[in-house]
């Protein structure tokens, strides 16, 4: 059973960090009694950074007009194949591909890329394109969301990441990403993907000036959709990284570790219908990520051979498979490599 919104707000307002962590740990233990904490080996490939949206929290994009356009790029397919080849050689099982909302890349470009990858690497799981990218491609091609996802799936897309959710409350979205898709649009992409039999993840980027009520509204939207479809494999919260962003330039401080752990734990308790919750080393560093395993997290995400979006915002935490296995073991769990859908585990 989930929390009510009111109960979640009371937890946010409580100072009992350890008590909240223990309650989240109890939910984690119930869902994962075997004491295994997972990770994946994959790579984030950002096929383009050119973007029409100008989100105030983003340090990654190159604008499509003005002098900033010079730092824009679109990867050649051969560059993408070479990155995937390297990932496979490193023991990677999947690729997370996301990009800016490029004004000219049509659906056939995406289809050709996915087909080219699957021809060369049929075993690699393609976890690609946030809801905002899918909406953008659908609009650019005059297609429905359903037809767009179905065509991407037929070309090789296996699942969809939760990027672009930020905070699922339009009051916040209007302030920090006024051109980006709205809450209902994000939910609709995921609902449609689930109805086509495709699994997706749900994310939350917090610490952008939202209220606690906004965070709880986000949890409720994700919870409700999961009740409806059961299509989310995992919930992945992380904190806004302010460096080099317009929002950060307004003097924004990053959410503290206590705020991160408390939000992670309340998410774990609230989203009792989602099996996996990820603790983030990319934004929090290894030590807080490790503590997150006692605040509800049962997964530490990816070893990640490449990551550009958080790095652009000045956060340069890095790790190895051995380091991740070490922090997992040291927190009292057995480490296991998993696949993108959390269905295959390799205990070694
Ligand atoms: S967050 Fe995504 S949609 Fe927003 S500006 Fe950055 S690349 Fe574009």
Q: Assign residue 31 the CATH number of its domain.
A: 3.20.20.70
**pLDDT for res 67:** 87
For 204-225, write each residue's pLDDT tens digit.
999 999 999 999 999 999 999 9
For 185-209, write each residue's pLDDT tens digit.
999 999 999 999 999 999 999 999 9
Give the domain range for residue 56: 5-346
Which pair of tokens denotes residue 30?
């119930």
Distance of alpha carbon 265 from alpha carbon 85, whole angstroms: 37
Say how many domains are in the chain.
1
Confidence of residue 1 (pLDDT cuts 50, 70, 90): low
Q: Ligand 1: which atom is nearest the Cα of residue 52?
A: 8
DSSP 198-237: --EEEEEEE-SS--HHHHHHHHHHHHHHHHHH--EEEEEE
Which pair of tokens denotes residue 32?
């994962």
Phi and psi based region of residue 138 (left: phi greater than 0; alpha: psi -120 to 50; beta: remaining): alpha
In sequence order, the β-bridge partners of residue 181 are none
Helix (H, G, I), strand (E, B) or coil at 39: strand
Residue with tokens 């994946």: 40
| Residue 58 near ligand 1, beta carbon < 6 Å | yes
DSSP 16-46: -HHHHHHHHHHHHHHH-TT-EEEEE-EEEEE
Which pair of tokens denotes residue 126?
């393609």
**pLDDT for res 39:** 96
Task: Please give the average per-residue pLDDT across 215-236, as a whole number.
Answer: 98
Single pTM value for the model: 0.95
Residue with tokens 């605040």: 295
* pLDDT, the chain, mean: 94
Whether the CB-CB separation of 276 and 232 falls below 8 Å is answered with no
What residues contact 93, with CB distance under 8 A and at least 6 apart? 40, 41, 42, 123, 124, 125, 337, 339, 340
Whether the CB-CB separation of 299 and 39 falls below 8 Å is answered with yes
Residue nearest atom 4 of ligand 1, based on CA coordinates = 55
Ligand 1 centroid–CA 10 distance in Å is 33
| Residue 47 near ligand 1, beta carbon < 6 Å | no
**pLDDT for res 348:** 63
Does the pLDDT value for residue 316 go beyond 80? no
Q: Is 63 exposed, middle or buried (0-12, 13-18, 19+ CB in 10 A)?
A: middle
Ligand 1 centroid–CA 105 distance in Å is 15
In sequence order, the β-bridge partners of residue 97 are 45, 128
Whether the CB-CB separation of 185 and 135 falls below 8 Å is answered with yes
Distance of alpha carbon 119 from alpha carbon 137, whole angstroms: 23
**pLDDT for res 248:** 86
Residue 144 in marked binding region: no
DSSP 291-309: HHTTTT--EEEE--S---H
Among the listed residues 167, 168, 110, 162, the one whose alpha carbon sits nearest the alpha carbon of residue 136: 110
Ligand 1 centroid–CA 203 distance in Å is 15
Residue 12 in marked binding region: no
């Amino acid at each position: 059973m989930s929390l009510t919104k009111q109960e979640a707000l009371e937890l946010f307002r409580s100072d009992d960090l350890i008590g909240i962590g223990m309650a989240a740990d109890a939910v984690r233990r119930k869902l994962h009694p075997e004491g295994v904490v997972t990770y994946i080996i994959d790579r984030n490939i950002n096929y383009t950074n050119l973007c029409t949206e100008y989100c105030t929290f983003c340090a990654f994009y190159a604008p499509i007009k003005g002098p900033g356009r010079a730092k824009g790029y679109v990867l050649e397919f051969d560059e993408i194949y070479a990155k995937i080849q390297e990932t496979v050689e490193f023991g990677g099982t999947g690729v997370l591909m996301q990009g800016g909302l490029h004004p000219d890349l049509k659906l056939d470009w995406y289809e050709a890329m996915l087909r080219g990858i699957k021809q060369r690497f049929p075993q690699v799981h393609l976890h690609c394109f946030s809801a905002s990218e899918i909406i953008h491609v659908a609009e650019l091609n005059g297609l429905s969301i359903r037809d767009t996802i179905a065509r991407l799936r037929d070309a090789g897309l296996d699942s969809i990441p939760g990027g672009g959710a930020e905070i699922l409350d339009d009051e916040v979205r209007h302030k920090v990403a006024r051109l980006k898709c709205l809450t209902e649009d994000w939910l609709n992409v995921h609902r449609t993907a689930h109805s086509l039999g495709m699994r997706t993840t749900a994310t939350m980027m917090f610490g952008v000036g939202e209220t606690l009520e906004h965070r709880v509204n986000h949890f409720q939207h994700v919870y409700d959709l999961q009740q409806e479809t059961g299509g989310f494999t995992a919930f992945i919260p992380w904190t806004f990284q302010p460096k080099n962003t317009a929002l950060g330039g307004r003097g924004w401080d990053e959410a503290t570790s206590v705020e991160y752990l408390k939000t992670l734990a309340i998410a774990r308790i609230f989203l009792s219908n989602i099996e996996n919750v990820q603790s983030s080393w990319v934004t929090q560093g290894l030590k807080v990520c490790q503590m997150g395993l006692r605040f509800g997290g049962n997964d530490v995400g990816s070893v990640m051979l490449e990551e550009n979006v958080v790095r652009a915002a000045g956060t340069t935490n890095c790790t190895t498979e051995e380091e991740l296995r070490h922090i997992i073991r040291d927190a009292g769990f057995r480490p296991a490599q998993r696949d993108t859908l959390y269905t295959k585990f390799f205990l070694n």
